[in-house]
Amino acid sequence: MKLLFVGVQGSGKGTQAKIVSEKLGIPHISTGDLLRGAFGELKNEIDSYIAVGKLVPDELMLRVLQDRLSLNDCVGGFILDGYPRNMAQAKKLDEIISIDKVIEIVISDEEALVRAIYRVTCSKCGEGYNTKTNPPKRAGVCDKCNGVLTKRADDNEQAMLKRIGIYHKETEPILLHYKSVKVNGEQKIDRVTEDILRALEI
């Protein structure tokens, strides 16, 4: 089953993608992790954009993705998280792979704002936490890698409002492009997982 998880930042899509991937025994492919985990030639190319604060171009992202999707563990399916984020990217992705189903994890704009305000991110591995709803075991320290948790400069109200606007305008249209199902993301984590599994009819 080739799946795509979509949601505004803070919807919990990364967390859910991880849980569901373990339950279904298919890999969770986060494009953020892919970019951070690249090596060799590809890493140099990616870093040349990231180092100057530019977005990695679609063409490069697609190459990274195509490499990853060609590995053996993707034969039985995968959960893609973080790409595509707009129609142009969705159409390009169609050229390399066909997505079977899209799960949209829905939270209100107000909830997304509140979650962004309490969000902290690991400076080493990129894992996200919420000091209110999903705190790390030790304050300020990543559970996964002991990295330092920092508040991103763009996790403020104004920057988040902008991201929410972009999500509605650019990302939501891709839901019509695919066979997509909405799941209420404003529930306890295990309830969201249950709803996702039901939506996948498993």
Catalytic-residue membership of 198: no
Q: Which of 10, 31, 24, 7 is nearest to 93 (CA)?
A: 31
The piece of 2-10, 16-24, 116-124, 191-199 that touches Zn ion (CB under 5 A) is 116-124
| Binds Zn ion by CB under 5 A, chosen from 6, 20, 34, 122 | 122
If one asks whether residue 38 binds Zn ion (CB under 5 A), the answer comes out as no
If one asks whether residue 136 binds Zn ion (CB under 5 A), the answer comes out as no
Contact 172, 102 (CB under 8 A): no
DSSP, res 54: P
Contact 103, 81 (CB under 8 A): no
If one asks whether residue 124 binds Zn ion (CB under 5 A), the answer comes out as yes
Nearer to Zn ion, 124 or 182 (CB): 124
Sheet with strand 101-106: strands edge to edge: 28-30, 78-81, 2-6, 101-106, 180-184
Q: How far apart, in whole angstroms, are the C-alpha atoms of residue 120 and residue 186?
A: 19
Catalytic-residue membership of 138: no
If one asks whether residue 80 binds Zn ion (CB under 5 A), the answer comes out as no
| Binds Zn ion by CB under 5 A, chosen from 24, 142, 160, 196 | 142
Catalytic-residue membership of 101: no
Residue ranges in the chain assigned as alpha helix (H): 13-24, 31-37, 40-50, 58-69, 87-96, 109-117, 157-166, 173-177, 189-199
The piece of 76-84, 134-142, 171-179, 194-202 that touches Zn ion (CB under 5 A) is 134-142
Nearer to Zn ion, 144 or 191 (CB): 144
Q: How far apart, in whole angstroms, are the C-alpha atoms of residue 116 and residue 152?
A: 10
State the minimum distance, in angstroms, from the CB of residue 59 to Zn ion: 29
If one asks whether residue 91 binds Zn ion (CB under 5 A), the answer comes out as no
| Binds Zn ion by CB under 5 A, chosen from 127, 164, 167, 192 | 127
Beta bridge partners of 65: none
| Binds Zn ion by CB under 5 A, chosen from 60, 147, 172, 199 | 147
Catalytic-residue membership of 63: no
* Enzyme catalytic residues: 13, 85, 119, 152, 163
